[in-house]
């Protein structure tokens, strides 16, 4: 194998490793809530995960009908940051490794 082939293989491995490091590896789960209005939950989801009102409404409705919903997929730090925002109003959440 030529040295250029070895370097290309090494570059590919580094690129794949970099992509895997940035790939979502955690889910932020939000649970159904009977203590807040739907509007309050939607506003807090928007604030936490920086999504559209439509997306926040979908997340809220899924949690309402099934008991839980994935609010965000991302790194552990991203999920924990968003989790703290959701928990500001005492929403129940959990961060799971994918």
Walk along the chain (98 residues) and give the pLDDT tens digit of each residue.
566 667 777 777 777 766 666 667 999 999 999 999 999 999 999 999 999 999 999 999 999 999 999 999 999 999 999 999 999 999 999 999 99
Q: Angle of helix 76-86 relative to helix 38-49, nearest 10 degrees?
A: 150
Q: What is the pTM of this model?
A: 0.77
Q: Are 28 and 83 in contact (CB under 8 A)?
A: yes
Residue 68 to residue 32: CA distance in whole angstroms: 6
For the chain, what's the residue count? 98
């Amino acid at each position: 194998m030529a040295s250029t082939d070895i370097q290309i293989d090494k570059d590919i491995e580094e690129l794949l490793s970099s992509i895997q490091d940035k790939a979502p590896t955690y889910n932020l789960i939000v649970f159904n809530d009977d203590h807040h209005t739907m509007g309050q939950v939607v506003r807090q989801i928007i604030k936490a995960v920086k999504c559209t009102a439509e997306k926040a409404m979908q997340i809220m409705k899924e949690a309402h009908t099934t008991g839980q919903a994935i609010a965000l997929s991302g790194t552990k730090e991203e999920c924990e940051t968003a989790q703290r925002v959701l928990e500001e109003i005492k929403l129940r959440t959990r961060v799971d490794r994918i």
